[in-house]
Amino acid sequence: MWPSTSSDRTSPIVAPRPTSEPVPPQAASEPAPPEPIWLSQPAGRGPRRTLVLTLLALLEAVRPYQWLKNTLVFVPLAAAHRLADVHLVGAAARMFVAFSLCASAVYLLNDCLDVAADRLHPHKQWRPIPSGRLPRGLALALVPILLAAALATSSPLGLGGMGVLGLYFALMSAYSLRLKGVVLLDSLLLASGYALRVLAGGLAVHIRPSARLLAFCIFLFFSLALLKRYAELALLKIRDGTSAHARGYLLEDQELILVLGGASGILSVLVLAIYMSTGNLERLYSRYELIWATSVLLLYWVSHMWLMAHRGRMTDDPLVFALKDRLSLALVALMGASAWLAV
């Protein structure tokens, strides 16, 4: 039936199937890709399940675990020893909610703008928007709604707090649109965002944060922002080798990032020590010597975080990693205990 040739005897070509066998209807064309698992719907429950999955994806996209950073609004109250004032704590809590809404708007905007790059990232590709679990159009529509809710929540606290929220959103939007690709400036903007949280908390309770406190926040969070870039390069190096890069940072920049980030972290401890050496703290703490333990413990924590990143063990955002790291949790607990015992 089929002519025999020399190539037929030596080549491992499989003979064509007999014409008597039925041919699958799509044999001549490439089969359609399988439907994503998050879109598959059991019979009779399709619309409800889709709504539930979309809401769950939205909850994940606004990153509620990142709201822990917004507890910085309580720092001015803690520094002034006014945490027992229920009225002021309520005002700071309102600012916490407002900043959480504003930050979530920034996260949605950032993920919408970064969707193409995130799909190529080993971990970010599983986020709701890059993975397709949350429609990009819906996420963009929620950005102004969350921002308006944030401003409305902070409006009873005065124009100062609303202005800080607006400034934070403007800076982070500029960061998401273009400035995230500017080496070092991106990390400085992130550090400034943390300082704005402290400033907003002070404005909410009418307590002006000291310059040393704001400087401490900028140095510490500049170190953590560089730590994040350092960890990203270490992670991408495994996949891309010597061509690895994280936005504007190249693999050969790792040593410089390590030096700058480590030095900034140590500077934050130094600023904290200078702040503790002022006479004001001696009047606030009956056992003033114990408060110095916090600076030593902070130095240990900053050094530990950079060591973990250097060893390639940090695959998350530094603050998220700290929440999972037992030593970090123990050090934070000891810092809180030393501050409490010093009162």
Map out the domains of the chain as residue ranges. 61-209, 212-343
Within 10 Å of residue 154's Cβ, how many Cβ atoms?
Answer: 28
Q: What is the pLDDT of residue 334?
A: 94
Q: What is the pLDDT of residue 44?
A: 45
Q: What CATH number matches the domain at 61-209, 3.30.390.50, 3.10.450.50, 2.30.42.10, 1.10.357.140?
A: 1.10.357.140
Q: What is the pLDDT of residue 280?
A: 67
Q: What is the pLDDT of residue 174?
A: 94
HSE (side-chain half, CA atoms, 13 Å) at 89:
7
Q: What is the pLDDT of residue 45?
A: 52
For all residues of the chain together, what is the average pLDDT? 83
Q: What is the pLDDT of residue 225?
A: 92
Q: What is the pLDDT of residue 252?
A: 86
Q: What is the pLDDT of residue 25?
A: 43
Q: What is the pLDDT of residue 118?
A: 80
With a cut of 70, list the residues of the chain below it in pLDDT. Answer: 1-45, 279-282
Q: What is the pLDDT of residue 127?
A: 86
Q: What is the pLDDT of residue 101?
A: 96
Are 161 and 204 within 8 A, CB to CB?
yes
Q: What is the pLDDT of residue 285?
A: 74
Within 10 Å of residue 290's Cβ, how many Cβ atoms?
Answer: 16
- 3-state per-residue secondary structure call for 132-195: CCCCHHHHHHHHHHHHHHHHHHHHHHCHHHHHHHHHHHHHHHHHHHCHHHCCCHHHHHHHHHHH
Q: What is the pLDDT of residue 151?
A: 96
